[in-house]
Structure 1
């Protein structure tokens, strides 16, 4: 089939579900990944043909079912690095890149010769791996309750050539880890079930609910457990960083203050939403 004809089919099928520019993006990502044909090549040679169109038409069907393009391709990018993803891990978000950037900026201001970092609820490993890649002389640990998620995270560590120590455990059970950390960071489940209606169907229908949702009655369940763990496992003056629910910033300030953390800072993301918080162990 001629590729420009397939592109027209994409728009016929998908323009009612996605904006036109997004459909273009899906198409170009797929032809690059499946056939090693770039957007520029297609612009120069508009009559380019492919012999086997089955794969891209199958992808079109999945897009029609609102399956995320990252899961269709099995990969995405985070903080300029490649990551494998599947239905067992969340697709890394731009706001989480801002959390990583915050940590790196803080370390640039007050660098230490050696650091020990723990990422709790690592998922694809995007936070842990990005920190390991950008912080020399740092020992990075990554914890998750999901064996399937850790399998992907280990692949991503190998893909990005970083050494991470992975731990399979539930933070809710307060695992015993014989290590003190200079930094503990987490992007735990924080979407209350009452907020489901604010989310896109392709997220709800495809991404792991265990990594997304918490009960309405106890939305800080994971934050409380991680804060308790941090009290026992952070070094003095160690830093605790969280990505948070935009509606619960004040509750998070209270949680950290009640646990004697100091220099608490609530930070907005690029969309002006309260999205990150940091506290220092007193």
Structure 2
């Protein structure tokens, strides 16, 4: 079959479910992954023929996309901060908004002395994308990553090995963690923050295929993780240490008030590329 005919079938089957530009993206990701073909191949070889053997994985991927399974799960990988990460149903798929948070942290750490070790703790690490990206970009970083899920930590460990960084992984529930003695220069977390009432705004490929444990909180106490992590940071950040959060876009002011109430300083709320309140930073009193 002609490759351009397969592309037309992708649009015929998927355009009712996704924007056309997204369907194009799916198609190009699939032919790159399974056939090693660049996205401009059809411009150069409009009559390229695909063998029956090579057709099969393309149509398998199409069948999975029709069920609204995330393309990253189908291919088993996602890209984040110019690195590649293994992903499956046990971890959240890394998102571009989280990349912005990582680059913010990198820029802040690079203002300090590059000869001094910087201890970083990532709470709720999932795929490990935050901790691994920080360790990869900050040679003076010693990164720790905590998660409640043993399966998530297994994926994160594989990702650390794939990307050539050493991470100290910790299996624990931050809501009940006690007796932890280490102190850090930076604590970062992208914890569950989507309220149950916001589920209706989300796409099926997220709600049905990504781990609810890492996504949702009750409407009655949506800041439950932020409250716990902020108090944890009070006793586990070094003096002058910095706390970074990815946050629910609708709760930016409430998050600022939370850090203010715990006497953090230099509090900064930032918007993401889509104009939503998404990132928050606060510093522990350096005195």
Contact map agreement 1:3 1:50 (CA 8 A) in 2:
no
Equivalenced residue count is 282
**Alpha-carbon shift at residue 88 of structure 1 (Å):** 0.5
- In structure 2, the partner of 1:10 is 10
**Alpha-carbon shift at residue 133 of structure 1 (Å):** 0.5
Contact map agreement 1:124 1:152 (CA 8 A) in 2:
yes
When the two structures are superposed, what TM-score results if normalisation uses the length of structure 1? 0.96
Separation (CA, whole Å) in 2 of partners of 1:104 and 1:9: 43
**Alpha-carbon shift at residue 12 of structure 1 (Å):** 1.0
Q: Which moved more, 1:32-41 or 1:160-169?
A: 32-41
Question: What is the Cα-based RMSD across aligned positions, in Å?
Answer: 1.2
Q: Which moved more, 1:184-193 or 1:33-42?
A: 33-42
- In structure 2, the partner of 1:26 is 26
Where in structure 2 are the equivalents of 1:103-252 lying within 5 Å? 103-112=105-114, 113-252=116-255
Structure 2: 5+ residue stretches without partners: none
In structure 1, the residue corresponding to 2:120 is in which secondary structure? strand
When the two structures are superposed, what TM-score results if normalisation uses the length of structure 2? 0.95
Q: Which moved more, 1:148-157 or 1:260-269?
A: 260-269
Contact map agreement 1:180 1:235 (CA 8 A) in 2:
yes
Separation (CA, whole Å) in 2 of partners of 1:40 and 1:57: 20
Structure 1: 5+ residue stretches without partners: none
Separation (CA, whole Å) in 1 of partners of 2:60 and 2:225: 38
Separation (CA, whole Å) in 2 of partners of 1:100 and 1:39: 28
Q: Which moved more, 1:51-60 or 1:68-77?
A: 51-60
**Alpha-carbon shift at residue 105 of structure 1 (Å):** 1.2
- In structure 2, the partner of 1:49 is 50
Separation (CA, whole Å) in 1 of partners of 2:179 and 2:143: 17
Separation (CA, whole Å) in 2 of partners of 1:91 and 1:228: 28
- In structure 1, the partner of 2:98 is 96
Deviations 1:144-172 (A, max 9, x none): 00011111101110111000000000000
**Alpha-carbon shift at residue 121 of structure 1 (Å):** 0.1
**Alpha-carbon shift at residue 175 of structure 1 (Å):** 3.6
